[in-house]
Amino acid sequence: MKSVRLVKILCALVLHVELSMEVSVLNARAGEGTIFEGSDCYMIEAVPVDVNNSLCIFSVSNNEGHLDTITFTIEGNSNEADIFEFQYKEPPSETDVIKIIYLVLKEDQVLDYDTTNSYKFDVEVEGSVDKVPITVKVYKAPEFTSIPAFVDTDEEKAISFKIATEVGSGYPNDDVDVVIESIVSPTINHINNNTLRVTLPPIDREVQDNFYMDVIASYRGSMYGETRRQVPVMIYDVDDNIPEIKYDHEDTLDFTISQNGSSVLVTDFSVSDPDEDRNAAYTLTLIVPANVQPGFELSSLDGSGDTSFNITLNPQKLDYSKSVWGRFQLQVHVEGILNATQTNNLFIVISLNEADDSGSGCMRTTEVTLFLLLIQCWWYFM
């Protein structure tokens, strides 16, 4: 009988030990000995907060591991449990003994400073003895007190302007950084964060004549809470192109007219200026020897952009008693109206034929001169 009682006692002891071990394991998996550490923090109003931009950072640890089983319960009087939650960047494993966890806003939740500028609530961490009090302050984003409605400049000129900012309500310091972003001109990032003076380098208008730049203010060291303003930039054209003047048949810029002959209309002249508006405007001037001026005229004396013009050669208006017989030059001169240094020229050669009084037709001046020279030679040797 004694031996039977001894066996029963031993069995009871073994069962008690097994049950104790099972309870101990369950307690460990439930998070016994869990430590939750962190401090009060802040969020910026109207900004979604997730694990990538949250400044509310905490650590959870347990020497036994099993962090993957620990739960966090938010208890507050202003429905904080519907607003906030805790998230890991990477879920913990069973063997992790310490992990960083972030307080974030639930999906579709943003904070409003004017509604609540501070949240106070307790966090109950499974396996932790005490509840952890947390205060989350709400700040306004930085505000622009001075920023241009738009920026304009002449092409290839630099721009400089100032921006003024102030911190949002409740923010503890005035460390505000400003950056400039532009897809069109990514080099626009020259800003002095001490004076908030922005400098735009010269911009080639032919690449882009108008675009938007984003001016972004954010708290220094913060990855979110920015205030963004979109500022249009307009680049104005200047008269910086030389008008091109040409004749469609430049290999024939040599014309012959005859005394008392019919007038000749020479077409296919053109001027092209790639500038815009008044910057593409120019004047046309025909420069000829003074004694033959009445015989030549332009169809246009000014133009803009692309212009075609003609030249009339009218021998009947020439004063042949004053004309310089032979060949002379006409000059078509084009000059920018807003920028007189933008000039170009086209030269035309005119050959004159003297009328043959014998009625046998017209001969060139050089032919008449040669004929007279031959007569003089014949008379000398006779």
Structure-block tokens of residue 327: 């060949």
Q: Answer whether 170's CB lies under 8 Å from 150's CB.
A: no
Mark whether 120 and 64 lie in a shared domain.
yes
Collect all residues with Cβ–Cβ distance below 8 Å to 221 and sequence separation of at least 6.
175
Going by C-alpha positions, the residue among 114, 351, 148 that lies closest to residue 255 is: 351
State the residue range of the domain holding 106: 31-139
Identify the CATH number of the domain in which residue 355 sits.
Answer: 2.60.40.10
Contact indicator for 276, 237 with CB cutoff of 8 Å: yes
CATH of the domain at 59: 2.60.40.60
Q: Are residues 191 and 73 in the same domain?
A: no
Question: pTM value?
Answer: 0.49
Q: What is the pLDDT of residue 82?
A: 96
Is 20 within the bounds of a domain? Answer: no
pLDDT for 126 equals 82
Per-residue pLDDT of the chain (382 residues; tens, 9 = 90+): 444 443 343 343 333 333 332 222 223 333 468 999 999 998 988 889 999 989 899 999 999 988 999 999 999 999 999 999 999 999 999 999 999 999 999 999 999 998 999 999 999 998 777 889 999 999 888 888 888 888 888 777 777 888 888 777 666 666 777 877 776 655 555 676 677 788 777 777 666 777 888 888 887 766 566 788 888 888 876 656 777 877 877 667 788 887 777 777 888 888 887 776 677 777 888 888 776 667 787 887 777 778 888 888 887 777 666 655 567 788 888 888 777 777 888 888 888 776 554 443 334 444 444 444 444 544 455 5
Residue whose C-alpha is closest to residue 244's, from 274, 203, 202: 274
Total tally of structural domains belonging to the chain: 3
